[in-house]
Structure 1
Amino acid sequence: MGDDTMAILSLYEASFLMTDGESILEKARDFAIKCLEEYMKKNKLDQNDNLSLLVSHALELHWRMLRLKTQWFIDVYDRKKVMNSSLLELAKLDFNIVQSTHQEDLKYVSKLMENFLWTVGVVFEPQFLMEIDGVIGDVGTLDELEFFTDAVERWNMNARDQLPDYMKMCFLAPYC
């Protein structure tokens, strides 16, 4: 039954790649769901049985983003009696690298948002909107935005000379 169930599970997963109007794959998905649900009725969810975990997970959480399911699949693969430890180690390394990259991206985006919110909180007058857009938009680099924010937070008038021209008007606006 294991090989048959794995084949049906593969069919079920493949059915999510269908495009609109592929009635054969729609019927295949319906058939696969029926078979997989029947399998789950006969074989209660067993945390030590990889196949029942895979089937349960596929039926309940199929629409998650693939990257979010990665850790779950790594954990399931790690519990297999027969597995390739090099492949497992590579999967864990890949997961950690991608997670680290996302964390760095989040830090960068958070800093941009901090700079944006600080600027629009201080310089909110409509006549300065175009200047803010130029500073915060795709013109300012992260280093320039950090220097700008630091200069404004310290109310350092001497720093204006080190700012690019397009940032000087924004910097001087609170003093007007």
Structure 2
Amino acid sequence: MVMKFIKHYTGTTMSKLALLELAKVQSLDRTEVDIISGWWKDLGLAQEFKDARNQLLHWYLWPMASLTDPSLSEQRIELTKPIALVFLIDDILDVYGTLDELILFTEAVKRWDSNTLEQLPYNLRICVEALYKVTQEINDKIYKKYGFNPNEFLKQALRPHCTNLYEAVLLEAKWFALGHMPMADDYIKNGMVSDTWSKTGVRNRVT
């Protein structure tokens, strides 16, 4: 779409400036993706859970599209991190978690209390710990830069959406464990929460 408009003004000063700006933005995007990729690799969760989705570029597209100002580079990078973890945890619950583990996990997310994590199996615990850590790192950066402690705000921004999502996944797990076939309306209603696209709520609330 951008190139279509640039070509319309080919040969003009405007098109030359637009091409320079486009190259600058694309270079910044590549740099941000490299930074996020390094963080994701160091986190080690993708290697731990090989059946989970590994779509870092896909997760980055949301912050890139919603925070378009080039000066918001740090915000795009930091926002991609919790989005990636929410996707990963959703996949882990589908593939790795038992019903009892899902119940414990959902309660831990509701409370947002690190003291409750010891009850969780290792795979679920390290994911929640990573989510806590990312939230705390964002908190520290905001405090250092602006002198404002957003800890409670970040918890309130992430916890309701994570809780709703994982409660929906838990309900699906209960249906499966009990051999229950839900009515179409119930399935669709719950699916609107548990579906991947519902996770945009995390993005919208944080931004």
Check whether TM > 0.5. Answer: no
Higher helix share: 2
TM-score, normalization: structure 1? 0.32
TM-score, normalization: structure 2? 0.28
Q: Which has the larger radius of gyration?
A: 1
